């Protein structure tokens, strides 16, 4: 091959020996050309250098979702990621330039061998949200064309697990339902034919559900199919509050903002605490408050009022009188969307 | 790259106005030194922090548009020192700029409320972007009077200035290294660690405190293990999570962290030779003075 270059692949490998997982890192030199994908590079290592290297793959066209793995510190599809772009760096594709290509199995789940993880938790969580349209009294028989605008993007999920692997909440709290399952849940809440929308929103508002997301955005960057799970989670929060599912700290916290902004323009942080957690919850925060007070970090309960705050009240009044629909982004509509 | 010389409509955000005042003081002090002119926005409200946007998405857009309109009237881009404000604004601005029908609908609401319409012409920037992209890092270097002498600094970027990378037009995601660039310009050495672009947990603080303390404390411990002597963040909320709450994380994790954390502006101010009191060092939960002294940055 005339135009080929060489690069080192540093691969995190491992297997279970006598009940103990033993990991190691191995380096392989790989030749690559303009269009060589990470998956092709791994195939060449397996064919020419070490036949025991284990990874999943099937379609080679970012449809099956089998080859999700951590490539230079982010979960990506090996078949969709070009070696040249990893080496050179492409800002638009969120790829910093790198001398070495580091490959590891997906995070937030156990490793079976080398790059193949045990993805059963991921699947089980998707299963817990009942991933199908349910019969029920909220079901609408008519499906408008515009209904697709909401479900288009989330229907693109190929269950590759990249979002689950990069999720920062999952890393700290393994019981979290996770971005893929919640995006899937939104797909059904947003489907006019679904019969139990409110019940779903109630269940999703419980612990390990929509309010546990940190909004870190990792899932949006990780998703190779532009599902943008965090956006779906945000929309679920909006719909839950609209449906009156507000008796939880997450919803109470979100709702408190509007009132503060209309009243003074600024957040009233001590009151925010009280409104989010209630009196007993706020008392539980006394330790934290005293700790902050040591450094003079207790804000006034009467924050300075910003100029022209009446305008904000006018805006809210106008929107209450004549609501406008802003949920659907332009990019989610029309030909080519979804 | 800048709209109006080095003049910016300054938007510190609620946290810097109420709790993390030291971030505001030091941002103003270093900007003055560098000739970056920060103009107050007396009519600016809270941005909604994504929370208003979840509760009432249309109101969230309108509140942001009202703030953008003020900056537009001033003829300046917005400069902020809070990542969550940066992201909330960027989400709104991206839509208002790219969806003419939406902008028209929001402007109708503004007009009825007696607010000047937004024409979609401003950009929203973080102060660290202004320093690197608009001013230039060579210019930053000129003001360094007390170089950091190889001080090992852990940059903590904060999610809301990085992701989703598409909305930040090449300024977010994995590739840009604003903090690393600035730390290098000050004579410090950037520490690489896994947590540097992860989540501080701030936005789950009230919903699940344990997870929050585990996240924030975990990043600090990791940075320290990798040799960090100090940690800096460009976000007032990350500052709170990693600095002000560090002792709470220590208690939860049952081990000492003792890693001084400060706003990037405080670190820049230190290297510029500004008075530590003026930079609000007395408000930090972990005193950084000994760390600076040990490196001869006194």
Give the pLDDT confidence of B158-193 residue by residue, as tens digits.
Answer: 999 999 999 998 899 987 799 999 999 999 999 999
- For residues B6-33, average pLDDT: 96
Residue where a domain terminates, one of B100, B126, B152: B126
Going B228 to B234 to B237 to B240, the CA torsion angle's sign is positive
| Nearest residue in chain A measured CA to CA from B59 | A316
B142 and B97 inside one domain: no
pLDDT cut 70: percent of chain A above it: 97
Confidence of residue B4 (pLDDT cuts 50, 70, 90): confident
B208 and B68 inside one domain: no
Residue B2 counted as domain residue: no
Q: Which residues of A touch B165 (CB under 8 A)?
A: 94, 221
Q: Which residues of A touch B99 (CB under 8 A)?
A: 329-330
Give me the domains of chain A, ranges plus CATH numbers.
5-117 (3.10.20.30), 120-245 (1.10.1060.10), 252-321 (no CATH)
Residue B147 counted as domain residue: yes
Residue-wise pLDDT tens digits, A67-94: 999 999 999 999 999 999 999 999 888 8
B176 and B226 inside one domain: yes
Could B61 and A173 be called an inter-chain contact, meaning their C-beta atoms sit closer than 8 Å? Answer: no
Measured CA to CA, the distance from residue B125 to residue B123 in angstroms comes to 6
Residue A335 has pLDDT above 60, yes or no: no
Residue-wise pLDDT tens digits, B197-244: 999 999 998 889 999 999 999 999 999 999 999 999 999 999 999 999
On the CB side of B243, CA atoms within 13 Å amount to 33
Residue B98 has pLDDT above 90, yes or no: yes
Confidence of residue A334 (pLDDT cuts 50, 70, 90): low
A305 has a chain B CB within 8 A of its CB: no
Measured CA to CA, the distance from residue A15 to residue A111 in angstroms comes to 8
The pLDDT of residue A338: 46
What average pLDDT does the structure give for chain A?
92
Residue B155 counted as domain residue: yes
| Number of compact structural domains in chain B | 2
| Nearest residue in chain B measured CA to CA from A90 | B175
Confidence of residue A52 (pLDDT cuts 50, 70, 90): very high
CA distances from B6 to B75, B85, B131 (A): 12, 20, 10
> Domain range holding B44?
7-126
Pairing of strands A20-32, A74-77: unpaired
Q: Which residues of A touch B55 (CB under 8 A)?
A: 238, 241, 254-255, 257-258
pLDDT cut 90: percent of chain A above it: 75
- How distant is the Cα of A326 from the closest Cα of chain B, in angstroms? 6
B214 has a chain A CB within 8 A of its CB: yes
**Segments in chain A forming alpha helices (H):** 38-48, 83-88, 120-128, 147-154, 162-166, 168-172, 179-189, 197-204, 218-222, 229-242, 249-263, 269-284, 286-293, 309-321
SS3 B59: helix
Place of tokens 């409509």: B9
SS3 B156: coil
B287 has a chain A CB within 8 A of its CB: no
pLDDT cut 70: percent of chain B above it: 100
Confidence of residue B256 (pLDDT cuts 50, 70, 90): very high
Residue B77 counted as domain residue: yes
CATH number at residue B55: 1.20.1050.140
Task: Enter the ipTM.
Answer: 0.94
CB-CB contact of B34 with B7 (8 Å): no
Q: Which residues of A touch B17 (CB under 8 A)?
A: 266, 303-304
B105 and B190 inside one domain: no
Interface probe for B, chosen from A270, A304, A318, A323 (most Cβ of B below 10 Å), is A318
Chain B, residues 96-155, CB within 8 A of chain A, namely 98-99, 101-102, 105-106, 109-110, 112-115
Residue A232 has pLDDT above 90, yes or no: yes
Confidence of residue A278 (pLDDT cuts 50, 70, 90): confident
Of A212, A237, A318, nearest to B54 by CB-CB distance is A237
B145 and B289 inside one domain: yes
B143 and B257 inside one domain: yes
Residue B25 counted as domain residue: yes
B76 and B168 inside one domain: no
- For residues A226-230, average pLDDT: 96
B211 and B242 inside one domain: yes
CB-CB contact of B235 with B266 (8 Å): no
Dihedral, CA atoms, B25, B26, B29, B33, nearest 10 degrees?
Answer: -170
How many A/B residue pairs have CB atoms within 8 Å? 218
The pLDDT of residue B151: 98
Task: Tell me the pTM.
Answer: 0.95
Phi and psi dihedrals of A199, rounded to 5?
Answer: -60, -40
CB-CB contact of B11 with B41 (8 Å): yes
Confidence of residue A2 (pLDDT cuts 50, 70, 90): low
Residue-wise pLDDT tens digits, B35-62: 999 999 999 999 999 999 999 999 999 9
B149 and B256 inside one domain: yes
Confidence of residue A240 (pLDDT cuts 50, 70, 90): very high
CATH number at residue B227: 3.40.50.11810
Determine which of A131-145, A208-222, B83-97, B221-235 has the lowest per-residue pLDDT on average. Answer: A131-145
B144 and B279 inside one domain: yes
Could B109 and A89 be called an inter-chain contact, meaning their C-beta atoms sit closer than 8 Å? Answer: no
Chain A, residues 235-294, CB within 8 A of chain B, namely 237-238, 241, 249-250, 253-258, 260-261, 265-267, 269, 273, 276-277, 287-288, 291-292, 294
B58 and B143 inside one domain: no
Residue B6 has pLDDT above 70, yes or no: yes
Residue A331 has pLDDT above 80, yes or no: no
Residue where a domain terminates, one of B126, B150, B166: B126
- For residues A304-332, average pLDDT: 90
B18 and B109 inside one domain: yes
Residue A268 has pLDDT above 90, yes or no: no
Residue where a domain terminates, one of B126, B145, B162: B126
Place of tokens 């009188």: A321
Confidence of residue A204 (pLDDT cuts 50, 70, 90): very high
Residue A61 has pLDDT above 70, yes or no: yes
The pLDDT of residue A296: 81
Residue B131 counted as domain residue: no
Residue B166 counted as domain residue: yes
Residue B278 counted as domain residue: yes
CB-CB contact of A193 with A142 (8 Å): no
Interface probe for B, chosen from A71, A81, A88, A94 (most Cβ of B below 10 Å), is A94
């Amino acid at each position: 091959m005339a135009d080929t270059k060489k690069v080192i692949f540093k691969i995190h490998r491992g297997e279970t020996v006598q009940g103990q997982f033993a990991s190691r890192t191995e380096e392989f030199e790989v030749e690559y050309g303009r269009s060589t994908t990470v998956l092709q590079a791994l195939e060449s290592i397996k064919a020419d250098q070490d036949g025991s290297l284990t990874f999943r793959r099937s379609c080679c066209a970012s449809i099956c979702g089998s080859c999700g793995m951590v490539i230079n510190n982010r979960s990506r599809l090996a078949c969709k990621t070009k070696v040249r772009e990893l080496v050179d760096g492409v800002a638009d594709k969120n790829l910093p330039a790198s001398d070495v290509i580091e490959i590891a199995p997906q995070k937030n789940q156990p490793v079976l061998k080398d790059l193949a993880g045990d993805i059963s938790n991921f699947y089980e969580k998707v299963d817990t949200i009942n991933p199908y349209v349910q019969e029920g009294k909220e079901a609408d028989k008519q499906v408008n064309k515009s209904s697709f605008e909401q479900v288009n993007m989330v229907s693109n999920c190929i269950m590759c697990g990249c979002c689950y692997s990069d999720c920062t909440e999952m890393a700290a709290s393994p019981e979290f339902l996770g971005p893929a399952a919640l995006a899937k849940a939104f797909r059904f809440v947003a489907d006019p034919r679904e019969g139990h929308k409110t019940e779903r929103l109630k269940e999703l508002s419980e612990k390990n559900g929509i309010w546990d997301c940190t909004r870190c955005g990792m899932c949006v960057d990780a998703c190779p199919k532009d599902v943008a799970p965090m956006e779906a989670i945000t929309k679920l929060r909006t719909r839950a509050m609209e449906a009156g599912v507000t008796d939880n700290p997450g919803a109470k916290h979100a709702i408190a903002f509007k009132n503060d902004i209309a009243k003074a323009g600024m957040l009233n942080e001590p009151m925010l605490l009280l409104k989010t957690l209630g009196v007993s919850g706020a008392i539980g925060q006394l330790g934290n408050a005293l700790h902050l007070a040591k450094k003079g970090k207790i804000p006034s309960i009467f924050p300075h009022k910003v100029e022209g705050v009446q305008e904000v009240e006018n805006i809210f009044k106008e929107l209450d009188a004549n609501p406008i629909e802003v949920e659907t982004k332009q990019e989610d509509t029309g030909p080519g969307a979804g | 790259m800048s709209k109006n010389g080095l003049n910016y409509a300054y938007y510190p955000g609620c946290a810097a106005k109420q709790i993390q005042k030291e971030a505001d003081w030091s941002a103003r002090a270093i900007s003055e030194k560098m000739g970056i002119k920060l103009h107050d926005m007396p009519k600016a409200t809270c941005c909604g922090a994504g929370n208003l946007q979840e509760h009432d998405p249309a109101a969230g857009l309108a509140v942001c548009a009202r703030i953008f309109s003020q900056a537009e009237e001033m003829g300046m881009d917005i400069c902020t020192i809070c990542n969550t404000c940066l992201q909330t604004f960027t989400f709104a601005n991206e839509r208002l700029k790219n969806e003419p029908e939406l902008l028209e609908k929001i402007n109708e609401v503004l007009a009825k409320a007696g607010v000047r319409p937004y024409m979609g012409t401003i950009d929203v920037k973080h102060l660290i972007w202004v320093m690197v992209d608009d001013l230039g890092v060579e210019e930053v270097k000129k003001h360094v009077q007390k170089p950091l002498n190889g001080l090992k600094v852990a940059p903590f970027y904060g999610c809301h200035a990085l992701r989703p990378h598409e909305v930040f037009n090449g300024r977010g995601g994995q590739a840009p290294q604003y903090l690393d660039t600035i730390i290098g310009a000050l004579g410090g050495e950037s520490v690489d660690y896994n947590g540097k672009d992860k989540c501080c947990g701030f936005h789950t603080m009230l919903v699940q405190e344990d997870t929050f303390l585990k996240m924030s404390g975990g990043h600090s411990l990791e940075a320290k293990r990798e040799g960090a002597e100090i940690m800096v963040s460009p976000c007032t909320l990350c500052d709170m999570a990693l600095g002000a709450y560090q002792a709470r994380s220590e208690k939860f994790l049952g081990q000492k962290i003792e890693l001084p954390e400060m706003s990037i502006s405080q670190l820049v101010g230190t290297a510029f030779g500004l008075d530590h009191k003026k930079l609000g060092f007395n408000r930090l939960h972990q005193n950084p003075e000994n760390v600076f002294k040990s490196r001869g940055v006194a």
